Structure 1
Amino acid sequence: MLNYSLSKQDGILKTAFSQFRRPNWETIQNFFRKIRDIKEIIMIHTGIKNIAITLFRALAHVFFILPLVTCPVSGQAVQKRKLTFNDYKLWGQLRLDKSSPDSHWISYAVQYENDADTLFVASTAGNEKYALPSGSKSLFTKENIFIFMKKNELHVLDPVTGRNESFESVSRYEYSMALNKLIILCKEKDNTEKLITKSPLADSKNEITGVSDFSLSPNGELLAYSFYSDGKNSALLFDLRKNQMLKSMAQDSKIGYKFSAWSRNSRALVFNGQSGKKSSSHLYYYVVTQSRLYVLDAGSHKGLKPQSRIINSALNPILIADDLEKVLFSVGPDKKKDTIEKPSVEIWNGNDKWVYGQNERYGRFDLSPKLMLWKPKKESLLPITSETFPSVMLSRDLSYAVLSNPKQYEPQFEHRGPRDYYILDLDNFQKDTLLLKQSAALEYMYGSSNGKYISYFKDNDWWAYNVKRKTHVNLSGKLKYPFYGKVNLLASDDPYGNPGWSRSNDEILLYDEFDIWALKPDGSSARRLTRGREKKIRFRLHVDRQNFRKSLYDAPLNETFDLNDELYLSAAGDDGKTGYWSWSRFKGEKEILFTDSYVDRFIFNVKTKTAVMVEQKFNIPPRIISKKGERETRVIVQSNPQQVNYFWGKTELVTFQNSKKQNLKGVLYYPADYKPSRDYPMIVGIYEKQSHLLHQYINPTLLNEPGYNSTVFTAEGYFVFRPDIIHENENVGFSTLDCVESGTRKIIEMGLVNPKRIALMGHSFGGYETAFVINHSDLFATAVASGGIFDLTRRFLTFGANMAMPEMWRFSSGGWRLGKKTPFSDRLDFDRNSPLESVTNLNIPLLMWCGKEDTQVDPFQSMEYYLALRRLGKKCIFLQYPKEDHTLMDPMNQEDLSLRILQWFDYFLKDQNKAEWITAGTL
């Protein structure tokens, strides 16, 4: 049963009664919420919905409506107050979870600081709601029953009637949507396990004791499970549709069975042998349609090294080809990595392809798993990857593998260097050259879903390779618009994207800056599906969160879209609007919801034509909304309703130009309880482009990893400005200075802030930008630069602990934009853009901080800069947090940092000289 005690209900009742000694609008609101909580608890605890609703209405009438009648009109107005630090704990984070098949119910979670998630199930049409503390791993069944885990308990809830059932000591569960069946593995008191199959909330069920593992087929109709009885382990196959045993696939007295993979068509499966806690070297392949079992002993097979072990993991999954002729699996040596003898000295050779640290983390190709191709019917076992070609991209149908070696052209100094790619036919094992010196950047190469084509981005164009004909076609070279540009922060130009292919793979889908295109892979035609460029709206195909950025071995996967069906698009306008649209072949794009707010977490029910989304603005907490057809948008759940009791700021999109007349945008946050007659200070926060944050809600909290929270600043009476920055090649520092000063002057010209009370702050690359700007600008009264880079030459010659590779790549293809320049050939460019070289110009107080164990930016960068400031007699304080990385993770340190930054700004921008640590450290 769900754990809702009567004492908790009594506590709510007592609190509710006591609140009406001195009624006001806030206490009435709180009382109403508590009465509603009683209803929810009764509904869950008893399963009797009508009684709960009747009691709720009666209590609400007696204790809410009647007292309200006697309240004066003035008492009904919400009396807003200033937000304080003690109020922050009232705020929670909202997360949309699932939507029921009939669109009548949704599930969502709310998490508060230092507290576990509470899962909720709420009606989309009424006020019914269930609170399920610590709920997780949830789903709605085809009949709209809600299933979720709470620790090791499985709960099944009918939200309409309130009826529920639970199962204890559950190891895991699966659900067959096709048959509406639950499969539950439970642990018994004697440590044995039993398997339960049943329809949700049905009275009847099947139980099998002695089951240690199970696997549900992709079509939801077959159940494989391992079973122990009479001293023997068996791997059995059960037909859930016919409710009958099909076959005993394997049996052994010493080896247990662990299920690994199904074919996509549910016609075959693979399982491993396991002896106690030790993995067996045996691999079993069973073809359901032929009732045929094939066995491979990896430990003794002549095609494998002795004592090889079979690996099955998320990174190295076992795969079955659709034609059932091929099984792909990985093998590794039968000893753990931590048992490998470590040398007493590290040898960093000058001619190593990868430096020692990088090679130890990524480059031990002799020890990495090797992908094997097993053809059971032909008794063939061949290696696909090797020490020479350790990286692999597989076609979806497993007809070919694309092989490469990341070290081929090393040493080189890009993040992902070029390499040669070879295509291996997995039917005849013929290997051909695919591409030479092709970029290995992620999302530059994909395989089509049917295995006929490979798309790749090269020389600023998208190309298609016909696998059968072995031909390359330039797809985008003759089109008017570029298919690459600024995609990622602090990076060079990249392709806008190849989200996938049409269902039949006769068209490849590509993005330009605004639109979605469909191009024939033979180059014969190209059509623009959307008209975003004309509207200044960026359209992108909506991909379900479960499929977002999936990968298979060493390559990303993209999606397949049926262009004859209705598709759904995310949309972002140049003016800050966001939302979702539908698209069809004959009607083009049609707005579902496109509004002056931030909208995401889109779930669309095709049958009911109902969309569920999360909407927010800076001054409107995230809320779950629904939209059906042309009807008005309806709010289902409003998070953080207490915000109405507090003064709150707002945001505005500000446009400005830099000295080169380039158009830029920035987000301006107004102080809470803004009054034009007051004199306001301002904090300018920088980190390349931030205008996309215009409508994002920010919970007030002192638990900030970088110490930065715009809501807290506005609540404390500050304007906050976050301007976009355009970085110029070979001139990052001064182009940053130009954009930041231009944006700040625009705000000053608007007459909103005191020009003598403006601060600058930034973290990481923003810390670098901040340090550089304040050395060359007189607009700022103080600054906070944290986790920053102050000496570019030192950064160039740093081994990055986080990525285990030298940081030189950041200067060619990263944020520094210095191309192939080095400090040895072009030292002036490095010095000119380094804050350390202009540190003598600094004339304002500077607060610095970093984590002492920072693996992203060497903490000595901050120490070096602090020592320079100290030697020059500048006003500065340096905070270094032991056992912390690039951002702070310890809540005590997060709170300490947030408070110190606020105190710093109050000290220098408001003349509130109450912080003794600042006085002692700067005077």
Structure 2
Amino acid sequence: MMSKFFGRVRVVALVLGCTSHHAPTEAETLRRVTPAVAKQWKHVSSEQLSPNGKWLVYLAASVGGGGSTLVIKSVHGSTERRIELGKSDEAESFSLSPSGRWVAFRRHGSTGKAGTAVVVTALDLETGRSCDFPDVSTFDLLGPTEQIVLISKSSEHSSTASIHRLCGGPAVNLGMVKEVSTNTARDRVAWTDGGQINEMDLRTGVRRTLVSGGDAFEGLTWASTGDAIAAVRKDSTALVAITSLESARPTVHVVTPKDLATFPADFGIVAGLEWRSDRQGLYVPIRKLGHQAKRNGVPGVRLWHGGADYLPADKRRIDDQNRPDWGYIDLTAPRFIRLTNGHLATVERHPSAAKILAYDVGAYDWVNYMQIGVASAAPQRRDYSLVDLKDGTRERILTGHRIWARSGAFVLPQLSPDGRTIVYQDGKGDIIVRSAETGASRNVTAELPTRFYFPENDPKRDWFLKDVHEQGQPRIQGWSTDRAHVLVSDHYDVWALPLGQGSAFNVTGDGRTSNKWYRRVVLDSPVQTRVNGSPNPVDFNLEIYFEWFDLDTGEQGIARWDPDSRRLNQLHSEFADLNYFKARDSKSMFVSRETSIEERAIHKVVAGWKPGTTLTRINPQKNDYLLPAPARYLTYRTESGSERHALLYLPVGYKKGRSYPTIVEIYKRFSPATHDNRPPTSYLFPYLNAGFAVLLPDIVPQLDDPGGAALEDVNAGIDAAVATGAVDPQRLGLMGESFGAFETNFIVTKTNRFKAAVSKAGVSNLWSHCNGAYDEKWPLTPGCQRSQPYLSKPWWEGWNDILRNSPLYHARSIKTPLLLGHGSEDDSVSFAQSVELFNTLRALGNENVVLIEYRGQSHTFDDATYADFDGRVIEFFGHFLKGENAPLWWSNGGSLYEGEVPNLELPGGTTETASVAH
């Protein structure tokens, strides 16, 4: 663990005659991290526990883009194997067998002129024996008989597949295949071969052809029970579903659109099938056959119509996607029910419900069509209906229901696991329980002493301002096994709300009073499952686990609900990110632990639920280098009395009692990333390595005053940081990107507190920004009313708000040296936004501004461009905050076109050409 070695001084005594020398200081014994060294850092990835808990298998994956190392570690012994995999896809690098005895992994190795060879190795974890399979493209470990299926590429359109016993025995050659799929239990494998669907039972070795003849099949889809499979004809003319695979004569259903009276004309069934849990029917995607978007015959001409729902670029994107509609096919009839069409474009497919939820967004104005991204602050209106799978009838249950695009911002309408109950949050913020069978509904939270939203996010205001980044969101966190309760968070505590008669009760108890948020977790999985809306069953006769985060201190912990006392017991906490989990068939507990200075590591849990023996071993080189001190979590109040938090990162070489030049980076909320590890490859590290502290204060935007809210929150955060003694109030820099750049542009018009400021891809003129376009998809006028920059009215009604918050209109007040960076092809914030601010400052005679245009770059930069820009930012702040020489590109006083280097006039009238490449 890093904390064991961080700051340690290695004492070296040299004796020359009778002379002794002093012990070297930390700076003399530890080296600075260089970019080349940073690329050597690795992180723990894709960890898996064997079901018996004996083995931990993980990747030591390169942070800097190099090769990965597969590590196989004995949990209860000292055995450890490390295998270099070369550059490989982390997600598909290795696989554990169902029993956990075998691991298979892909290795990439050079073969000289032939290029790179791919070899799959299967390794017996108990005995260490192994076998290799060359030239493999995909693989999987299968079944109770410990077999492996290998698929080797043979041509562009087909592959060969074979099944091998590990290790030894004859292989079973499946021949040329188009598609291979295994069921959930991995004891059956199916494959398509031209016009055939074949299947093999790996328990018995029996293989058979289920369907033959006709065109090729695609989209093999297993039922969750593993005893039924379906596919569609490649020409979309038929669905084939095979059930009762356990019997000697499986049942084969062949359904064609022409057999279904209600199937829409000119449509076909396409891949993407979903089985119902009873295997009596499937949800099927359908698409119009021969669809092709009609193209304008006049090259280069687009027509923008004021009455259109979609503008040209977005309309073309939708046409090109040709999104399928959904239907349901009942195999027992057979019968087809169309589920979506036109504006009723979304249906919540449920594995067992007799009636399922669908919603319509088309009954409202065209603004409602807009695809609201994760930054959305205003609701979308939907009409929700229940669709009966027996006859297709639709029952409208909610009209104009408001939802926010952020997943979990409010409790969205959803069906219980048994499909009998609908739970949703109404327009007042209360939780409503409705019977899907009778329509009877009940408000189950109106009388509770809590609200299921933050005051800033009162649903009656039509705005969602407090972005909680998953911290305590009011999500459904499980359904009780007795069908009596649903678990829902109120941002702090988790409540058990009755689905029928009965009362609600607070399961966690002290969240709101102690300023903690709780979230239920499931431990018996390879990596801890944080339950957010999934139907994980809750049994109140058993122990229930919760993780929590203390909003005052930043500590994280785990607690256990006891079924006998019906109380929550705190087990362990510390200033770190802790994720507990266990193996499927073992009682041994494990925990992954991460802090800002310690990469995520897996530990065995010892008494008191504390992290014990470390099972992962990576980055031993870190003990030789200077690294940052731990981040500090600050809690404070703004001038208006609101509670806020900030993260303060201390520089490499930090000395207690000293204050440091500090870069204040802003956007919205950073505190949820309190324990995120910041390795040498993170974007913050170069600033810390250059001797700067970095402060990340939380900002909560305010409606119609985003600039003023940012100014208040940033000033409060700086005051709290200065109070620690580590931040020099006379050497402050300000930096922001995107919305943070807009805030930066605004703040420097209101204060001279900062010695320098950097704005990357920021808005300066809200009027022109809101009337521009995002990559021609739609005008931003409604966009500005639905998300950033949090303006509630269009410009013609909210002109004073735009004038007050637009940095451009207050540019005369800017005295802070300002570095602007922007991509010329930015499709989120037009490059013109930075040009407007630059030209205005230049016209005002302000020479302390430089705009760096990155030709061809978009809103986010590629790695090389970010490296160039970050390097310039460090030089810029180094000059203004640390008194270093000004970089040439700032001090030379001349603009440059791409590729040009300036001529420097040297003393005596001579000149010298100098490069400004970075």
Question: What is the TM-score of this pair, normalised by structure 2?
Answer: 0.82
Deviations along 1:100-158, whole A, 9 cap, x unmatched?
22323222222132324333223334251322314542232214321233465432112
In 2: Cα distance, 1:271 partner to 1:919 partner:
67
User: Corresponding residue for 2:515?
Assistant: 536
State the one-letter code of the partner of 1:82. R
Structure 1 residues 503 and 844: CA distance shift in structure 2, 3 A: same
Distance 2:217 2:843 in 1: 68
Give the Cα separation in 2 of the matches to 1:885 and 1:611: 46
**Structure 2 vs 1, CA of residues 94 and 872 (structure 1 numbering), >3 Å: closer, same or farther?**
farther
Match of 2:201 in 1: 239
Q: Aligned partners of 1:343 and 1:118: how far apart in 2?
A: 55
**Which one of the candidate residues 211, 231, 250 is aligned to 1:250?**
211
Q: Secondary structure at the match of 1:771?
A: helix
Deviation digits for residues 291-340 of structure 1, max 9, x if unmatched?
A: 2222123489765556644322xxxx212223333222112133465786
Whichever residue aligns with residue 470 of structure 1, its letter is G
Q: Retained in 2: the 8 A contact 1:372–1:381?
A: yes
Instruction: Provide the residue aligned with 1:482 in structure 2.
Output: 451
Residue 149 (structure 1) aligned to one of 106, 112, 121? 106
The one of 228, 238, 244 equivalent to 1:282 is 238
2:851 equivalent among 870, 875, 878 = 878
Question: What CA deviation, in whole Å up to 9, does each residue of 1:518-548 have, x standing for no partner?
Answer: 2111363212221341443322123669998
- Rounded to whole Å, the distance in 1 between the matches of 2:464 and 2:25 is 51
Conserved? CA contact 2:48–2:57, under 8 Å: yes
In 2, are the aligned partners of 1:613 and 1:626 still within 8 Å (CA)?
yes
Identity of aligned residues (%): 20
Residue 606 of structure 1 deviates from its aligned partner by 4.9
Contact 1:877-1:921 at 8 Å conserved across structures = no
Q: Which of 454, 473, 486 is residue 422 of structure 2 equivalent to?
A: 454
CA distance in 1, matches of 2:803, 2:849: 22
Match of 2:222 in 1: 262
CA contact (8 A) 1:624 1:637 kept: yes
Question: Is the partner of 1:437 in helix, strand or coil?
Answer: strand
SS of residue in 2 equivalent to 1:626: strand
1:699 pairs with 2:679: yes
CA shift, 1:849, in A, is 0.7
Give 1:189 shift.
9.5
8 Å contact kept, 1:514–1:537: yes
Q: Indicate the residue corresponding to 2:911 in structure 1.
A: none
Give the structure 1 partner of residue 435 of structure 2.
466
1:790, distance to aligned residue in structure 2 (A): 1.6
Moved more, 183-192 or 437-446: 183-192
Match of 1:209 among 153, 157, 175: 175
Which residue identity lines up with residue 146 of structure 1 in the other structure? V
CA 1:165–1:86 in 2, change beyond 3 Å: closer, same or farther? closer
Q: Which structure 2 residue ranges, 5 or more long, are not aligned?
A: 1-8, 13-19, 109-117, 373-378, 896-918
Deviation at 1:434, TM superposition (A): 1.5
Measure the CA separation in 2 of the matches of 1:830 and 1:207.
70
Q: Is the 8 A contact 1:285 1:293 kept in 2?
A: yes
User: Could you tell me which amino acid in structure 2 is paired with residue 128 of structure 1?
Assistant: E
CA contact (8 A) 2:11 2:24 kept: no
Query: How far apart are residue 906 of structure 1 and its match?
Result: 0.8
| 1:354–1:410 Cα contact (<8 Å) kept | no
Partner SS for 1:714: helix
Q: What residue is the counterpart of 1:20 in the other structure?
A: none
CA contact under 8 A between 1:549 and 1:558: conserved in structure 2? no
Separation (CA, whole Å) in 2 of partners of 1:268 and 1:725? 52
Q: Secondary structure at the match of 2:380?
A: coil
1:325 and 2:280 matched: yes
C-alpha distance in structure 2 between counterparts of 1:577 and 1:748, whole Å: 22
Give 2:624's match in structure 1, choosing from 627, 630, 645: 645
Partners of 1:286 and 1:292 within 8 A in 2: yes
Residue aligning to 1:623 = 601
Q: State whether residues 446 and 558 of structure 1, in contact with CA within 8 Å, keep that contact through their aligned partners in structure 2.
A: no
Offset of residue 510 of structure 1 = 0.5
Of the structure 1 ranges 261-270 and 83-92, higher mean CA displacement relative to structure 2 is found in 83-92
Partner of 2:576: 597
- Aligned equivalent of 1:660, options 631, 640, 643: 640
Partner of 2:787: 814
Q: Is the 8 A contact 2:764 2:808 kept in 1?
A: yes
Letter in 1 for 2:871: L
C-alpha distance 103-547 of structure 1, shift in aligned 2 (>3 A): closer
Deviation digits for residues 155-198 of structure 1, max 9, x if unmatched? 21123433222223434334445554433334569997554345
Partner of 1:716: 690
Q: Deviations over 1:561-584 (max 9, x none)?
A: 444444443322221112444444
Which structure 1 segments of 5+ residues have no match?
A: 1-24, 29-70
Indicate yes or no: 2:93 matched with 1:140. Answer: no
Once the two structures are superposed, what CA deviation does each residue of 1:82-107 show, in whole Å capped at 9, x if it has no partner? 33444323323332421222323222
Contact 1:700 1:712 in 2 (8 A): yes
Aligned partner of 1:571 in structure 2 is 548
1:881-904 Cα offsets, whole Å, 9 max, x none, are 122222212x32121111100000
Task: Identify the match of residue 253 of structure 2 among 281, 284, 294.
Answer: 294
RMSD across aligned positions (CA): 3.6
Residue aligned with 1:681, SS: strand
Deviations 1:358-384 (A, max 9, x none): 44434899x531222222332323322
How far residue 219 of structure 1 moved from its aligned partner, in angstroms, is 3.8
Residue 97 of structure 1: aligned partner: 47
Q: CA deviation at 1:678?
A: 5.3
- CA change 1:241–1:159 in 2 (3 A) is closer
Q: 1:167 to 1:564 in 2, by over 3 A?
A: farther
Distance 1:96 1:172 in 2: 17
Q: What secondary structure sits across from 1:265 in the alignment?
A: coil
Note if 1:766 corresponds to 2:740. yes
User: Which residue among 63, 68, 71 is the counterpart of 1:120?
Assistant: 71
Task: Indicate the SS of the match to 2:39.
Answer: helix
Name the aligned partner's letter for residue 726 of structure 1. V
8 Å Cα contact 2:39/2:62 also seen in 1: no
Q: Is the 8 A contact 1:767 1:787 kept in 2?
A: yes
1:525 to 493, 503, 518: 503
CA-to-aligned-CA distance 1:424-452 (integer Å, 9 cap, x gap) = 10013222111100124344222212111
Whether the aligned pair in 1 keeps the contact of 2:739 and 2:789 (CA below 8 Å) is: no
With 849-858 and 620-629 compared, the bigger mean Cα shift is at 620-629
**Cα 1:285/1:749, change in 2 over 3 Å:** closer
SS in 2 for 1:412: helix
More helix by share: 1
Matched, 1:776 2:735: no
Residue 3 of structure 1 corresponds to none
Letter matched to residue 223 of structure 1: V
Counterpart amino acid of 1:500? G
Find the counterpart in structure 1 of residue 389 from structure 2. Answer: 426
> Residue 446 of structure 1 contacts residue 557 of structure 1 at CA under 8 Å; is this kept in 2?
no
Tell whether the 8 Å contact from 2:69 to 2:82 is kept in structure 1 after alignment.
no
Matched letter for residue 720 of structure 1:
V
Cα distance in 1 for residues equivalent to 2:779 and 2:528 = 33
Given the superposition, is the C-alpha separation of residues 539 and 198 from structure 1 closer, same or farther in structure 2, using an over 3 Å criterion? Answer: farther
Relative to structure 1, the CA distance from residue 122 to residue 880 in structure 2 (aligned partners, 3 Å threshold; closer, same or farther) is farther
Contact 1:625 1:635 in 2 (8 A): yes
SS of the equivalent of 1:281 reads coil
